[in-house]
Amino acid sequence: MAEIIKDRRPPVTKTGVLGWIRSNLLFPWYNALLTVVAGWAIFSAVKPFVQWAILNASITLDPTVAKQYSGAAWGFVRDMWPVFMVGIYPEEHRWRPAVALLIVLALIMLTLVRKFRGTKWLYTLWGLSPVAVYLVIHGGFFTGLEVVDTHYWGGLMLTLILASVAMLFSFPISVLLALGRTSDMPIIKSFCVAYIELVRGVPLITILFMASVVLPLFLPTDMELDKVLRAMVGITMFFSAYLAENIRGGLQGLGNGQYEAADAIGMGYWQKTLLIVLPQALRIVIPPMVNNFIGILKDTSLVGIVGLVDLLQIAFATTSNPKWFGRLEEAYVFVALWYWILCYSLSRYSQHLEKKYASK
Amino acid sequence: MSQHAHENARVPFWRNPQIRAWLYQSIMLGGLLWVAFIMYQNTLANLEKRGIGSGFGFLQNEAGFNIGETPPIPVLQGGFLWFIAALIVGLFASRAIAVWLKKKGTAITASDKTVFAVITLVGIIPVLVLFLGSDSIAFTRYTESSSYVTALLTGFANTIKITILGCIFSTILGLIIALGRLSPNWLISKLCSWYVELNRNLPVLLQLFFWYFIVLQQLPSVRQSIDVGGWLILNNRGLFLPAPIAQSGAWPFCLAIGAALIGIYFICRRSMRLLNERGTPGKIVLPSIALLIGLPALVWLIAGTPFTLEYPELKGFNYRGGIDFTPEFTALLVGLTVYVSAFNAEIIRSGIQAVSNGQREAARAIALKERHVMRLVILPQAMRIIVPPMTSEYLAIAKNSSLAVAIGYPDFVSVGGTILNQSGQAVEIVGIWMGVYLSLSLVISLGMNWYNAKIKLVER
């Protein structure tokens, strides 16, 4: 008699919502346990935050009304918004940073238009934009605008200015350092190696201290260097070394054949470097360079230690305002949100670039 | 001769690459020397104008300021001198071994025996000397009447403390987060990836402020401390744990633990040998645990109690006794650990993912158990990818610990900054900072490079 094969149960579904939940959250048993633990952790962290930030929060501009709510007083952020943006920049001149921002935003918009991208006049405009931004914010010279000393610069504006100046100036310096480090000339090579290793071996704070305390000693006795400028010098010095190592990676990643081919058609050193080597080397290292720029943006927050009022330090400055005394949490969340959005979008951009150039 | 003359005539001398190279370099060297000379002159003039002397003599002056955390510092005398002497002799001996091995065409890292010999020379022997001379080793603690040198040493000890603990904790936390991101559990992996994204994109200084000014300030006051059975007490004055106090049996006990660790090393080696010889690895876990617990326990019975615990007690307005971590220390340690663990997690995850799937499949095909697949096949290969970037992260912890200055933890930079403000000796202090951090970076990267050389793939 033939044996009757028992009916088998149908396979556990792996498709659809239920299947997804089963395979991603509940199976095997310890995964279910982990799901419960993780869910509980998320719940217990998010619940008080949501209560504080949304449910019990107020957005009134009146501090006495805001005190009646147990949650966040977002009216504080609304009230102090301009201070967060520009620090103690004089109130009647606040339109000037706004104009500077418009200039940069307009340029970014133009760049986003595919037709204009890579045209000479757009490059020229970008090249001129730092000068324009400086003239608008600082004033003086031939502009007829009242001079606003760097002493009054602060907030998000200062953070962005410090970061962009550091990116702008450390880029050419780091290219030179990287070329120097890979060159055959012993004195130039050893200078570049020494500079890079020295700077990379010490914390940014000591460089900032050096820029703020020691640099003035090196200058002639009658020469005064602006505090913001000193910080800029320090940050630029610091990041050139890190960026140089990135670029060196790109230089090393280039096949020897490229150098030999350039030599074979009789190119000189600078022709070879500018036309053959750098365009290829820099393209390889765009993602690590963007990561480095994120680092610059985050690390500009250290200038608070040598007495500048950047985006992070403004959090303290605003909360010592008698009207909104002690609203430190709100200030931190707001400042953190800014940093996070800026850095996260930069890191997304770097991932996009990586994908774009990976296909080639 | 005429050939050369002909060539020289064709190529003018300023087009000769060699001559040009020397020309560029002499211009650069000249420029550097000139800038250095001008800066030197300016510095002298500036110092004179401000009435500040130069030189390191001021370091002997009385400091006169208070330091919140003063770990004991060994005094350069007695047992400590012997320790340093043993260390120096050990270093020279290892150097000699390295040179000798190089002549023979191998390296120290090539065999376990030589590695073991070097560890003995620079590690075990000096530590033994330190233990044997422990009666004569003297410690000093910084007080307000101590010199600037002692203040700097105290700051340096604090920096080292935070660096070592930060490296250990951020590696462990990073490993957990990395495994979480690789977990098939969707919720866990999302949670871990948000942890990474949140931490990577916020400045470390902001995170330190968050832990210090927001989290630690919200802890209860001393009277309402969180108390876990007297073992762990947490309040806004810091974290308090019971402290072990060494008794008569302490040092045989430590020796027993050391011996047990060496024994475990040999158990692991035997396991590998058995794996090679008969295909199944020897037992590791059970004998190791037995050795690690049994040997010290035996010594405990023979030599008497090694440690007694000193519990923190509420006296007056604060807890006294035990180990206390100040809020500054706790904030710095938690902040740095959390920040760096996000980077470490990404490094570890990418290292594990970079090991090709074929390796995993091959390991399963030869019927290795799942935990052996991880330990014997995946991790050794992932380590090669993980170690170099992890070195940079450890260096970053050492350097980022200098952010202590922002929340008032007396680390090396913070103490140096106070001295700088008091004495005005900016050039000297910044010089000391640079020198010390450079040496610290050098030591960390030397150690990690050595480890890297040991585990890296040996090719033709």
Q: What is the pLDDT of residues A40-51, one digit of tens each?
A: 988 988 898 888
Residue in A302, A332, A334 to test binding to B, most B beta-carbons within 10 Å: A302
Q: According to the model, what pLDDT value does residue A13 have?
A: 63
Tokens 């200084």: give the residue: B205
Place of tokens 């070195």: B391
CB contact under 8 A, B430 and A329: no
Cβ of B46 within 8 Å of Cβ of A216? The answer is yes
Pick from B200, B403, B437: CB nearest A201: B437
Cis upstream peptide for A28 (omega within 30°): yes
Residue B1: pLDDT band by 50, 70, 90 thresholds?
very low
- Residue A3 to residues A6, B122, B443, Cα–Cα distance (Å): 9, 75, 74
Q: What pLDDT sits at residue A10?
A: 74
- Mean pLDDT value across residues A306-313: 88
What is the predicted pLDDT for the residue at A235?
A: 94
pLDDT given at position B136 = 64
Of A24, A188, A329, nearest to B185 by CB-CB distance is A24
Q: What amino acid occupies position A119? A: T
Averaged pLDDT for residues A220-241: 88
Q: Give pLDDT tens digits for B200-250.
A: 999 999 999 999 988 888 888 777 777 777 778 888 788 888 877 777 777
Residue carrying structure tokens 């037995």: B290
Do the beta carbons of residue B252 and residue B258 sit within 8 Å? Answer: no
Nearest to B206 among A200, A201, A312 (CB): A312
Confidence of residue B457 (pLDDT cuts 50, 70, 90): low
Lowest mean pLDDT among A182-186, B10-14, B414-418: B10-14
**Amino acid (1-letter code) at residue A191:** F
Q: Measured between alpha carbons, how far is B318 from B331 in angstroms, rounded to an integer?
A: 19
A149: closest CA of chain B, how far (Å): 25
- Number of other residues whose CB lies within 10 A of the CB of residue B118: 20
> What is the percent of chain A with per-residue pLDDT over 90, rounded to a whole number?
19
Q: Given pLDDT bands bounded at 50, 70 and 90, which one contains residue B135?
A: low
State the smallest CA–CA distance between residue A343 and chain B in angstroms: 5
pLDDT of residue A340 exceeding 90, the answer is: yes
pTM as predicted: 0.85
Mean pLDDT is lowest, of A1-10, A179-188, A240-249, B406-415, for: A1-10
Q: Number of C-alpha atoms within 13 angstroms, CB side, residue B8?
A: 7
**Residues of B whose CB is below 8 A from A186:** 25
pLDDT at B235: 81
Q: Which of residues 62-91 of A touch B (CB under 8 A)?
A: none
Integer angstrom CA distances of residue B143 from B140, B146, B412 = 9, 5, 16
Q: Which of A18-22, A265-269, B408-412 has the lowest mean pLDDT?
A: A18-22
Residues of A in contact with B400 (CB under 8 A): 203
Does B130 or A175 have the greater pLDDT score? A175
Which residues make Cβ contacts (< 8 Å) with residue B443, sequence separation at least 6? Answer: none
Please tell me if residue A165 touches chain B, with a CB cutoff of 8 Å. Answer: no
DSSP H helices, chain A, are 16-21, 29-50, 63-66, 74-86, 95-112, 120-138, 155-182, 186-200, 204-209, 215-218, 227-253, 256-264, 269-271, 278-284, 286-299, 311-319, 328-358
Q: Indicate whether B8 pLDDT > 90.
A: no
Share of chain B above pLDDT 70, in %: 94
CA–CA separation, B185 and A23 (whole Å): 8
Q: Which residue from B198, B178, B200 is spatially nearest to B188, judged by alpha carbons?
A: B178
* Residue contact A302–B413, C-beta within 8 A: no
Is A43 touching B (CB cutoff 8 A)? no
Return the structure tokens found at B151: 């203040």
For residue B32, list chain A residues with Cβ-Cβ distance below 8 A. Answer: 191
What the block records as the tokens of A155 is 């907030």
Contact list, A344 vs chain B (CB under 8 Å) = 197, 201
Chosen for mutation from B22, B24, B202, B403 (greatest number of chain A CBs closer than 10 Å) is: B202
Give yes or no for a contact between B399 and B390, defined as CB atoms under 8 angstroms apart: no
Interface contact flag, A213 B437, Cβ < 8 Å? no
pLDDT tier at B35 (50, 70, 90 boundaries)? Answer: very high
- How does the average pLDDT of chain B come out, rounded? 83
Interatomic CA distance for residues B148 and B412, integer angstroms: 12
Higher pLDDT, A279 or A29: A279
| Residue B170 amino acid letter | S
Would you call A217 and B42 a contact, using CB atoms and an 8 Å cutoff? yes
pLDDT of B2: 46
pLDDT in tens, A85-131: 888 888 888 888 888 888 888 888 888 877 777 788 888 888 888 88
**pLDDT of amino acid A359:** 52
**Would you place residue A195 in the very low, low, confident or very high pLDDT band (cuts 50, 70, 90)?**
very high
| Cα distance between residue A183 and residue A197, in whole Å | 16
Task: For an interface test with A, give the residue of B38, B183, B206 to mutate (most A CBs within 10 A).
Answer: B206
Q: Is A23 exposed, middle or buried (0-12, 13-18, 19+ CB in 10 A)?
A: middle
Q: Which residue in B210, B399, B420 is closest to A203 by CB distance?
A: B399
For residue B159, what pLDDT is reported?
A: 92
How high is the pLDDT of residue B397?
92
Out of B187, B433, B442, name the one closest to residue A38 (CB): B187
Q: Are B390 and B448 in contact (CB under 8 A)?
A: yes
Tell me how close the Cα of B21 comes to any Cα of chain A, in angstroms.
6
- SS3 per-residue string spanning A316-329: HHHHCCHHHCCCHH
